[in-house]
Structure 1
Amino acid sequence: MVKAVRIHEAGGPEVMKYEDVDIGDPAAGEIKIKNSFIGLNYIDTYHRSGLYPVPLPATLGLEGAGVVTAVGDGVTEFKVGDRVCYGAGPLGAYAEERLIPWDRVVKLPDSISEETAAAMMLQGMTVEYLIRRTYQVQEGDTVLFHAAAGGVGLLACQWLKQLGATVIGTVGSEAKAELAKAHGADHIIYYNEEDVATKVKDITDGKGVPVVYDGVGASTFDGSLDSLAPRGMMVSYGNASGPVPPFDAGILAAKGSLFFTRPTLMTYVASRADLVTSTNSLFEAIEKGLEVNVMQNYALSDIQQAHIDLESRKTTGSTVIIP
């Protein structure tokens, strides 16, 4: 038996239960991992709340890093003792040990710690597909990235600077502004105090930006669209303030023949080849100086408090859970 955090119904942080589970031995094509660290991500709150429904009961969590303790039949890519990491599911990371299909896991380079890996995989691969494949940012582009002091935001600011982009970041406080600027944001907008679109137009001499990356959702939707240049792309990849409500697609035409997309990491790394490409790109960015900031850690038994702090925007950077 191992300790794990499971939900038996959707709801608030209180529905998460720290309990004993029997995970058994790996089946064919699976490996068993003893988690050293587990990543905390906003999508975890969507699975918990029911916004993204999952079969129940469920062990939450998509991301972690640790050591292989057993391999199932047919697995040749991994052996007991390998340091590994994963960041795109399937669910089950909130546990001392877990089973997972081998093709959802990659080996961890010697230069990267397990704590860093658990803090960066989901967020880092998210940044990779957003800025390299959803809209391929080019040197000289000016982009708007919401929640620039969050885990995804801090990685994005740095990676965008590696690509030669100018970064406009939105934040909610002076402390978060300083953090975003320290990680590469060129311009800061306080989304609670300033009109985002007006500020973006001021910064870009009225042109707007070719792409907006919006993980906030409902509260920033209108400002994001109004910040775009004609034929710009609105990339809506999260719902921190609630989901974007239904809208008339004609608004995209009226505001300048805009593009709107709602991508997910799971689609962009669905194949083994895409997963490996994404992680290799992330590891390369780390080697070039991309820093992963683990700003908070919680014990697995304190997972309820971790979700409360995450949803109340008390956290910055990345957060890890210690089994």
Structure 2
Amino acid sequence: MSRRIQFSQHGGPEVLQTVDTTPAEPGTSEVRVRNHAIGLNFIDTYYRSGLYSPPSLPSGLGTEGAGVIDAIGAGVEDFHIGERVAYAGGPLGAYGEYHVLPARQLVKIPPGISFEEAAAVMLKGLTTQYLLRQTYAVKAGETILFHAAAGGVGSIACQWAKALGARLIGVVGSQEKAERAKALGAWATIDRTQEDVVQRVLELTDGRKCPVVYDSVGKNTWEISLDCVAPRGLLVSFGNASGAVTGVNLGILAQKGSLYVTRPMLSGYADTPERLRAMADELFGMLASGKLKVEIGQRYPLSQAAEAQTALAAGKTTGSTILLP
């Protein structure tokens, strides 16, 4: 028997249940991973709350983890029992001691990177990779705006942008988080609770605004973000921390400077094993070079997943949070 977290109805963190179950056997082209560390992400709360719909209820939760392969299904040739692997995306169910998923969604963990580091960095790191390197190819000398710069993705983006030679302006929710973002490599910070974000962006860019704005907050910052994008620039909306952006009037894009908007997801970029592994290779290379460090701000036992999600939703976490089975 093994433990896993599941939910039978949508709601707050209190709907999460710890249950004992028999580990599933991997099917064709699947592997079973015995988790050593599990990543906690905002998207987990979207499935739990009902913003996103799981395939069925009751449902497992979580899509990120790292561990050792302990069973292999038919047709799997690229992986072997005992290998250290990590994953992000794929079927729900990472919040457990075991997780079965398609082999195509796994990457091998290089020597020198721990299970905890891999679980803490996979989803956020691969997200940062596609945001800064593919959705918009950030170039040296550019000034970009990034919301929630002290959070999980933001803390990696601060470091990666600095390594690229870009000036990242980080929007944060407190002076403490401003100091954290600056320590991670942000060129400048804006405390949204004390400062006018749009006005400060105009001041910091000499009125030019930013060629790209990255917004994971959603509803509460949509208009602010649009007002920070330079003419013909791009707004990258990649999260809904404050709620989903709805009822968008496309005419606003014309009024504010012929702007572009995109809503990317990891699955749209890591859509083949080859692309996933190329992205992971670049991410792990950044870690190995020391240009990128992953900070694990919080560790919770798997049984305290509800408490971990509560802290995440309340903005009380810094860096990455992991669950330990």
Shorter-chain-normalised TM-score: which range?
over 0.9
Gaps of 5+ in 2: none
Q: How far does residue 288 in structure 1 lie from its aligned partner after superposition?
A: 2.4
TM-score by length of 2: 0.98
Are 1:61 and 1:89, in contact at CA under 8 Å, matched by a contact in 2?
A: no
Aligned ranges 1:27-38 → 2 under 5 Å: 27-38=27-38
Looking at structure 1, the residues matched to 256 and 174 of structure 2 have their Cα atoms a distance apart, in angstroms, of 30
SS of the aligned residue for 1:321 comes to strand
* Contact persistence 1:63–1:88 (CA under 8 A): yes
Is 1:193 matched with 2:191? no
Aligned to 2:129: 128
Q: 2:5 maps to which residue? A: 5
Q: Which residue of 2 aligns with 1:294?
A: 296
Q: Which runs of 5+ in 1 are unaligned?
A: none
Aligned counterpart, 1:14: 14
| Aligned residue in 1 for 2:50 | 50
Instruction: Give deviations 1:284-306, integer Å, cap 9, x for gaps.
Output: 11122200000001011011101
Q: Read off the aligned partner of 2:171 and give its amino acid letter.
A: T
Q: State the Cα distance separating 1:276 from its structure 2 match.
A: 1.0
The AA in structure 1 aligned to 2:177 is K
Question: CA-to-partner distance for each residue in 1:265-313, whole Å, 9 max, x for gaps?
Answer: 1111121122111111111111222000000010110111011101000
Q: Counterparts of 1:219 and 1:25 in 2: how far apart (Å)?
A: 44
Matched residue of 1:24: which SS? coil
Partner of 1:315: 317
Q: Is 1:213 aligned to residue 214 of structure 2? A: yes
Give 1:24 deviation, angstroms.
2.7
Q: Post-superposition shift, 1:75?
A: 1.0
Alignment of 1:163-312 (within 5 A): 163-289=164-290, 290-312=292-314
Distance 2:227 2:289 in 1: 34
Number of aligned residues: 323
Letter in 2 for 1:293: E
**CA distance in structure 2 between the aligned counterparts of 1:30 and 1:20, rounded to whole angstroms:** 22
Percent identity, please: 51
Tell me, in whole angstroms, the C-alpha distance in 2 between the residues paired with 1:69 and 1:245.
43
User: For the residues of structure 1 that align with 2:60 and 2:41, how far apart are their CA atoms?
Assistant: 14
RMSD, matched Cα = 0.9
Deviations for 1:152-180, whole angstroms, at most 9, x for unmatched residues? 00100000111110010011111111110
Q: TM-score, normalized by length of structure 1?
A: 0.98
> Contact 1:88–1:269 at 8 Å: present in 2 too?
no
Correspondence for 2:78: 77
Could you list the structure 1 runs, at least 4 aligned residues long, displaced by more than 4 angstroms after superposition.
none
